[in-house]
Each structure stands twice: as structure tokens, then as C-alpha cells.
Amino acid sequence: MDLITRENPARVAEIVGSVPVTDPAAVDAAVRRADDAFRGWSGLPVAERVAALRRGADTVAARLEELAPLLARESGKPLADSRGEIGFAVAFLRWVCDEAPAVLAATEVDDDAGRLVVRRKPYGVVGCVTPWNAPVILAMLKLGPALAAGNTVVLKPSPLAPLTITEVAAALPAVQVIHGGAETGRALAGHPLVRKVAFTGGDAAGREIAATAGAMITPAVLELGGNDPAVFLPDFALSDADYERLVMASFATAGQVCMAAKRLYVPRARTAEFTEAYLAAAERVLVVGDPLAPGVTMGPVISAAAAARIRALVADAAGGTATPLGRSAPGHDPASGYFVTPHLVTGLDDHAPLVAQEQFGPAVPLLAYDTEEEVLVRADAGELGLAASVWSADEERAFALAGRLGAGFVFVNTHNRTGMSLRAPFGGVKRSGYGREYGREGLLEYVQSAVVHVPAAFRPGGPGMAPGAYPGGVHDEPPRSAGSVRPPL
């Protein structure tokens, strides 16, 4: 049996665990089992499904102190962040349980226009393909709504972080987990019994998943990458705590977050003071080291390839100045794993790869601007439009600019996870994907409207309608005498 073996990116000689690879035949078997289970699971009242999910949430919560070190070891995410991610996934699942009965309820209108019933019907088997950078919460954003809606799920997590989410998924009903790389993902997304696909990940994999699903006319939710700008208006007023939060908005999870602050646009007249305050904040809060060590806030990147790519981006920042950030934890050995020194890079133009590309790592450019119209154009450059942020002492001014930015989610006076809300739908525009997670919209992604309707004209005693008439009496056919013949179309 082929195995996926996961090393600890902070101590590469340490093997954290392994999972069996699911070959295409086994993918088919998993999907068929999920399809067989669909009728029974979807046939339960939503209250019973929600109760089962609540029990799953309680099981995961009870194991948090066991699961968090496992997540830290397989992903390189600091232990405190690992606890936070699992706890947030539990909170999100419980929120889904609270909201689902009302959001999924059928609606009925019975009035002078007729009787209309709209029900929310699940799709069937949902195939979920999820990434390594936040493997628990990014899977739960799909599992919770899909299961509450009555779908069954086949989940394929990333081979770079398969262990913790496999444990979490085992606590939930109507879920099967498969493992593998691109071949396994294609077999899942292209299976004829998969009725919807949900994917979070990079652009290249997203295009392949979308093409595979599209060939089967299978709808999809795609949350892809972002090169998210943080725009500081001339009146910005940041406290020390604000600067610390901003630093972590770029460097949490070693910068490997789709909605991280990846480009900092600062008014030219205030770049010196901004840079000084930013460097001081990074020295206070950015501590690089082993994810299990106390006080560490940034661990390694996920792989040797990721480390090499990010170092190359910094090295290739021609014309710019790269300033190392933060400090190392006591006793930290950077050669033990895939550690990359975090950097703030100044003096680049907009065409530099570190600016124009999603760096997805611990390096962020600071870019000066002169006018609001200029920064709007520069911030919107490129094909990605996931998230952005606007910082200003004037909330109305911030909201006005935020409304003009080409991003699916704009934070105001914060960025990254501190700006999220369970009720706020999240997703991208342009090449950053389609569909939404979180909020009412995130639940509705996993149901289809199914309608039963009788117009008033056809209810008992109704007047009926002429053949070929349009609804509402719009352009009704003229009356015809008995025995008249309609001309052929």
C-alpha cells in the first residue's frame, strides 16, 4: 500500500505520521458509499442532522489539547495558532447548527397570485478538496454547511497536512476521507456521482479542478489565492497595538494565508514614520522558532520548495531594500527545518515579482503612493481580487474607498483573521474564485431551490389562462373563436 508520509517542517528528520493513498478505484468506492448514504442522511429532519453535528463539535472540542500539537507538528503552525484554528472550526460548526434550521427552511406564499413553495434541497455527494495552510477550518467551512444541508461529503485534504483533519472529520457523520495528490483530486472532482465540488487552494490547481468539474457540468465553489493590498489613507492613526496586529496580518502562518496583507501602500509623506513603527512592532511580536516552543509566533514554511521560492523572491528584489524582521526564539536552530527569515522590502516598483505575484510567504513589500486615485489603480492591478483593507481615522472615508476596490472582502482598520465574522460571506472576485463561504450565503451554496407552484388562475374556481399566455397577463393571446386554427410557428 502506498503511503503519504508527513514530516515535521520544523524538524525535518521527524516523521509525524502517514496516511494511505486512495487510488482511483478506491475513490470510486468512497463516492458510491457516500451516494448510498445520501438518501438516509438527507431524509433526516434538519434538527436531527444538526444534533448529530453538535455532538461532533463537542467531540472535537474535547480533544483540542490532543489535536493542537498534532496540527502544529504537521503544518508548522505555532501551537497557540493551532489551538485557535481548531477552536474556531468548532465555533463555526456550532454557528452553522444555530443558523441552519432558519436558513434551510422552506418558504411558502399563498396569496392572490397563487401558491408558491420554495424548498432547499441538498445536491447529493459533495466532493471537497482542501489545502494545508489551515487544514481544519478550511475543511470545516465546507463540511459544516454541506452536512447541515443534507449532503454527504467525500473530503480530500492536502497531502502536506492530512493528519489532524482526518481525526476531526472522523467525529462527523456522513463524511468519508480520501488521500492523495492531483490524481486523487481529479478522480473525485470528475466522478459522475459527485454533484458539487468545493475547493480551496492555488490558482493552478483551481483551474484544473474547475475544468474537471465543468466537464461533468458539476457546479463548484472555488476560493483561490489573493495578492491582497492594505491601503493606508493619509489620515491613518495606528497605535502600537494596531501595528502589531498589522505585522501578524502579514506573517501569521509564516505568511502562508490567502487573505494575508501582501502589499502595504503608504502615503509617501508618511513612509518613514510608518516603517519605523512597523519594524519596532515586528521586533515585539514576531518570534521565529519551533511551533511547539513557548512564545513562538512564526514557524517554518511548509516545504523546502516553498522556502526556496520565497528566498528567491527576496533575493530578486532588485532596486529594493530587504530588512529582516522580528527575532529568533532562544535556542532556535533555523537549519532544523524550512525556516525563512521574515522581511519587509522597500523601494520596489509595481512590476517586481514580490509585488506583482502572490508571494504566499514571510516577505511583504511597502510601497509609497501620492494620491488616492493612484493607489486605487495600483491596488487593483492584477487578476486577483480576494481581500483588501483600508486604514483611516475616518470610517466613512475608509468605507468609501473600500467600496471602490476590486476585492470580494475589504477589511477596515484591520486585516486577515481579526477582521473576519461568521456572518460575513467571504470569497473572491476576478481570478480569485467564485462562490462564498461563511454567512448565510455559505450555507446556501450547498442547496438548490426546488419549487412547487400553482398560479391563481389554475386553482379551484380560477379563470384559467389562454394557451400560450405569459404570466401576469403580459401579452396574452387575443381571444380566438371556436374552431379557429393557429398558424404554424
- Give the active site residues: 223, 258
Residue 428: alpha-carbon gap to chain centroid: 9
> How far apart (Å, rounded) are the C-alpha atoms in residues 409 and 425?
8
The residues facing 117 across adjacent strands are 108, 452
Please name the amino acid found at residue 228.
Answer: D
230: left (phi over 0), alpha (psi -120 to 50) or beta: beta
Please name the amino acid found at residue 181.
Answer: G
Query: Are 244 and 287 in contact, with CB atoms under 8 Å apart?
Result: no
Q: Hey, is 331 helix, strand or coil? A: coil
Q: Count H helices and E strands in the chain, helices first.
A: 15, 22
The residues facing 448 across adjacent strands are 121
At residue 83's C-alpha, the angle toward residues 82 and 87, to 5°, is: 120
Helix (H) or strand (E) holding 57: helix 46-62
Helix (H) or strand (E) holding 16: strand 11-20
> How far apart (Å, rounded) are the C-alpha atoms in residues 388 and 392?
14
Nearest to 17 by CA among 34, 37, 31, 3: 3
The residues facing 364 across adjacent strands are 344
> How far apart (Å, rounded) are the C-alpha atoms in residues 163 and 71?
8
Query: Are 315 and 283 in contact, with CB atoms under 8 Å apart?
Result: no
Query: Are 121 and 447 in contact, with CB atoms under 8 Å apart?
Result: yes
Strand residue runs (E) in 263-362: 263-267, 287-288, 321-324, 327-328, 343-346
Q: Mention every residue, 6+ apart, whose C-beta is less than 8 A from residue 88.
A: 137
